Amino acid sequence: MNIDQEVAIALAGLHLGEHFTFEELTGAVQRLRQRRIVVAEVPEIGESSGLCAVLLFSDDRDVILHAHSDSALHTQQFVLHEFAHIILGHCENDSDALAGNIPDTLLPDIPAELRIRALARGDVSTEEEIAAESLADQLAARIRGVAFAETSYTEIFG
């Protein structure tokens, strides 16, 4: 299956139609993962590491921490890219064996088992990263289809 097919199947699997709000997408991702999604800006993420966002998993929630950007669209892309990884199931194949190899300099207060996914992704040219970015682009286009409606999406992303 190529990336375009993978993205099309993932979009159809959300059952959200051609246009949806950020809240509807968040609800679909939470139902998919059967846990809460928490999104928060942490400006320090991008200051020294060059990371745009970090995706962490715990037993009861998934946490997306993103860098600050002056651009609302750029911030939106950070979050949608991490949503795309979740939707595409990229978080389901990580190995606990990585935990011991991940340095704790970036997020020293977060247990190693929660940092596996966040720091295992260093190469942005892999098929997983390209598929996630492609799906994030599709999600953004569908959200913008209703972005002018009065929703909290505009409050979050400007």
Strand order in the sheet with 36-41: 36-41, 61-66, 53-57
- Tell me: pLDDT of 10 over 80: yes
Are the C-beta atoms of residues 63 and 118 closer than 8 Å to each other? no
**At 19, phi and psi to the nearest 5?**
-135, 140
Beta bridge partners of 57: 62
Average of pLDDT values for 16-38? Answer: 94
Q: What is the pTM of this model?
A: 0.77
Q: What is the pLDDT of residues 48-103, one digit of tens each?
A: 667 788 888 887 888 898 989 999 888 999 999 999 999 999 877 554 434 444 45
For 97, the 3-state DSSP assignment is: helix
Question: Angle at which helices 72-87 and 22-33 pack, to 10 degrees?
Answer: 30
Query: Rounded to 10 degrees, what is the CA torsion of 132, 85, 118, 156?
Result: 90
